[in-house]
A and B are shown apart, each in its own frame.
Chain A
Amino acid sequence: MHEWALAEAVISTTLKIAEEKELKEVIELKIKIGELQQIDQEIFEFALSQLRSPMLKNAKFSLETVKAELKCRVCNHKWKFSTKNMDHDVSEFIHFVPEIAHTYLKCPKCGSPDFEILTGRGVWLDSIKGAK
Chain B
Amino acid sequence: MVDPRLNIINERLSKIGKIIAVSSGKGGVGKSMIASTLALALSRRGYKVGLLDLDFSCPSTHVILSIEGLFPKEEKGIIPPEAHGLRYMSIVYYARDEPSPLRGVDISNAIIELFAITQWGSLDFLVIDMPPGIGDATLDMIRFVNGINFLIVTTPSKVAFETVRKLIQLLKDLKVPIVGVVENMKMRDSPFIREQVERLAAPFLGGINFDYKLEDSMGDVKKLLETEFAQSVEEIVSKKL
Contacts and interface: CB of A to CB of B under 8 A. Distances in A.
A71 to B, nearest CB: 13
Contact of B102 (A4, A32, A102): A102
A12 B77 contact: no
B1 A2 contact: no
Contact of A99 (B8, B78, B110, B116): B110
Given A102-B106, A125-B2, A96 B117 contact: yes
A96 B75 CA distance: 12
Interface in B36-56: 56
A100 B100 contact: yes
A17 B6 CA distance: 13
Contact of A13 (B4, B56, B91, B98): B4
Contacts of B75: 1
Interface in B171-213: none
B8 to A, nearest CB: 4
Interface in B93-145: 93-95, 98-103, 106-107, 109-110, 113-114, 116-117, 119
A22 interface: no
Interface residues of A, number: 32
B76 A5 contact: yes
Interface string A82-106: 0000000000010011111011100
A117 B113 CA distance: 15
A125 B116 contact: no
Contact of B4 (A12, A93, A103): A12
A113 B8 CA distance: 30
11 contacts: A1-B74, A9-B8, A13-B2, A14-B4, A32-B1, A97-B110, A97-B114, A98-B109, A100-B95, A100-B100, A117-B106
Those 6 A-B pairs whose CB atoms lie nearest each other, nearest first: A5-B77, A9-B8, A93-B94, A99-B110, A13-B4, A9-B4
Interface of B: 1-8, 11, 56, 74-78, 91, 93-95, 98-103, 106-107, 109-110, 113-114, 116-117, 119
